[in-house]
Amino acid sequence: MIYKNIQILRFIAAFLVVLHHTLPPTVHPAHYANIPTWITEISVYGFAGVDIFFVISGFIMAETTRSMQPGAGTASGFVFRRFLRIYSGYWPALLLMLFLSIWLGIFNGPEISHWKSFLLLPQDFYLLSVSWTLTYELYFYLLIGTMLCFTRKQAVPVFLALLLAFVVIVAVQFNLGVYRSATPRENNFLLNVFLTSPLIIEFIAGFLLSEWIHRKPGQSIAAWSLFTTMALCASIWMQKYGGLMGVGMAAFLYYPERVMLFGSTSLGLVALAALLPSSGSLLSRFFCKLGDASYALYLLHIPLLVILYSLLFPKIPGLLWIGGGKLSLLVYLVSVVICSLLYFKFLENPLHKISRRASSMWLRSAESSRTCTV
């Protein structure tokens, strides 16, 4: 079951990330001088769109796997299809970014491995900067694949135990200073930054939220609203007044605090999106369409930021300065939404359908081969 409200929340999450990446120094401060304060305030917290995405992903994976029969074949088929889903939408955007990086001579440092960027393997920096979140998606799909080897009744305790294990590991790492020093990040990236990342807690929490709502459908909307409001206020206060260094909870330094605060907020938002009745209005249907294109929006907004602000806008006399940057920002935001809808309709969705048919044929062939062998 796909919730319309969650599709809308997908778009909101992606758009928050887009706004966050329009902040200086990504967009030159001089071209951002007179942007309304309320936009810049929202943009500062836009990184939390990733946390919303992660909780949504856990929730949706719980929904889509609920009726699957347990077994190694089901698990391998699920992982194969989900990986193809990520790659089929990702690779065209990556190729665009590769072209831009070669043409403009950017994002070509030795710290970026192109083959790791292509395969979405863990590394510190990626050719397409937002790719780091997709490595966590693939990691979570592997965890879900492992879960599919168990019955659903067994899987929930396994995920509860996994959640507890991650909480304990993060607490130990926190006390050891992993999140207060750059040394572990540099010397043991795979273990300290990736495999034991607090961000995985958000995926697991989304999965368990779906199970909780499924088993206890009479959830209190008022209670979830209060929980979400309190978590959001605490998150904003910590980010703005908590004395955090640099970009605050957007940085690895404060991932435990981020998951505890913005992760809790995201959990509440997803719960409310699942519980509240969806509207059939034209506006709601429009935002659902935008939600369908949220992956495209997430992938395209950095390449389009480079294309517009580095190549096109400077060639249009005065555009970057009209309204103190308001017009250029508006043109960028409208352009990235339109391009994302087109990317989804004419590239991402057709490629996904092709890959899905190909994967179904391959999986049927593999199953037939196993049957004949037996």
What are 334-351's pLDDT values in tens digits?
999 999 999 999 999 999
Q: What's the gap between Cα 368 and its chain centre?
A: 36
Cβ-based burial of 371 (10 A; exposed 0-12, middle 13-18, buried ≥19) = exposed
Nearest to 340 by CA among 156, 106, 77, 92: 92
Q: What's the gap between Cα 125 and its chain centre?
A: 16
pLDDT band with cut points at 50, 70 and 90 for residue 373: very low
Q: Would you say residue 185 has pLDDT above 90?
A: no
Q: How far apart are CA 146 and CA 155, in angstroms?
A: 9
Q: Would you say residue 3 has pLDDT above 70?
A: yes
Across the chain, mean pLDDT equals 91
pLDDT for the residue 108: 75
Work out the average pLDDT over 288-315. 95
Q: How far apart are CA 17 and CA 148, in angstroms?
A: 32
Place of tokens 């970009």: 247
pLDDT for the residue 38: 87
Highest mean pLDDT among 254-268, 311-325, 357-371: 254-268
Beta bridge partners of 364: none
pLDDT for the residue 359: 77
Is 0.85 surpassed by the pTM of this model?
A: yes
Q: How far apart are CA 72 and CA 79, in angstroms?
A: 11
pLDDT for the residue 184: 45
Of 36-40, 97-101, 118-122, the range with the lowest mean pLDDT is 36-40
